[in-house]
Amino acid sequence: MTRFFVLTLNGLTQGAIYAAMALALVMIWRATKVINFAQGAMAMFTSYLALFAIDHGAPYWVGFLVALLSGLLLGGIVERVIVRPVESAPPLNVVILTLGLLLFLEALAPMAFGGQIKSFPPAFSIVGLRFGSTQVAFSPFDVFTLGAVLAVMVLLLVLFQKTNLGLRMRASAFNPEVSRLLGVRVGRMLTLGWALASLVGALAGVLIAPSLLLYPTFMDDVLVFGFTGAVIGGLDSAVGAVVGGLVMGFALAYVGGYFGSDLETVGALVILIAVLMVRPSGLFSLQRVRRV
């Protein structure tokens, strides 16, 4: 029972990070109908930038801000410079484009920052909390991770549901033509959507970097699990992304804990297939699949 409790806590923290990654993917999918395979690599790069700042004497929080802001900037630049020109190209081309960006960033990072594996400092202690005499595998940094992801999600919810800007962004994603006629600067909204999604991805990177260590491909698995979570939840649903990410976190923790860590990805595959066989467009998708 204790083991189950510990695994649940681990799953929750990991799941929060996968949820952030899934949310980043879903935001971009909803805005531009693109799966951004470079999302992980972009988060990797912003984590390197954060570490660069910290290594040069900046306090952790400055590094944290560097990661988020550079994520915002990088997302905007990528949308504007690379994705915009292929807006009307076949969808697979955009997939290859983001894959190219992924490879490029993963090669650029060791060139710019050195190829060796680096440790990334956590914001708070990673030693488990104590309740009386028992120590649990849940550290202050895990609490911070959960809090940070939750805070970003609440802020995004407020932005999209309660502000005029959020309404315009949703309108641009829902129907670009009509939005343009109504005076919405659709191009700007898409750039902003990518920038915000990239910020959420950068948050995931900076939060998981202390436990995974920093190397050029360290976000690859997070991207795959985040994508799997997004697909489980349904790519059109932000709530689905969060739920799917958490499902992935718990599933990987339980499978890893009870069956061995080398079966984690197999467990992910089984769950994904099971969900998709029942609901081919994910759990929370509102779209009806047309059957022929």
Partner 1 sequence: MVAVRARPNRLVSPTLRRHLPLALGAGVVLFLLSTQIGAYDDYNLAAVAIYAIAAAGLNLLTGLNGQLSLGHGALMAIGAYTASLLLKDHRQFPVVVVLMIAMLSTGVIGIVFGFAAARLRGPYLAGATLTLAVALPQVATRYKSIFGGESGLTVPQPAPPAWLGADFPPERWLAWIALAAAVLTMLLLANLLRSSVGRAFKAVRDDEAAAALAGINVARTQVLAFVISAACAGLAGALFAYWSGITSPAGFSLALSLQLITAIVIGGLGSLAGAVWGSVVLVFVPLLTSGMASRVNLPSSVADNLPLAIYGGILVIAMLVAPHGIQGALRRILAIGRARWGHTPGGGQKGVVDWDDPAPDT
List residues near partner 1 by CB under 8 A. 29, 35, 82, 85-86, 89-97, 99-108, 110-111, 114-115, 220-221, 224, 227-228, 230-231, 235, 260, 262-266, 268-269, 272-273, 276-277, 280-282, 289-290, 292
Q: Which is nearer to partner 1, 53 or 272 (CB)?
A: 272
Least spacing, CB of residue 198 vs partner 1, in Å: 17
Least spacing, CB of residue 32 vs partner 1, in Å: 13
Q: Which is nearer to partner 1, 89 or 151 (CB)?
A: 89
Least spacing, CB of residue 221 vs partner 1, in Å: 8
Specify which residues 214 forms β-bridges with: 118
Q: Which is nearer to partner 1, 114 or 147 (CB)?
A: 114
Least spacing, CB of residue 106 vs partner 1, in Å: 7
Q: Which is nearer to partner 1, 96 or 154 (CB)?
A: 96
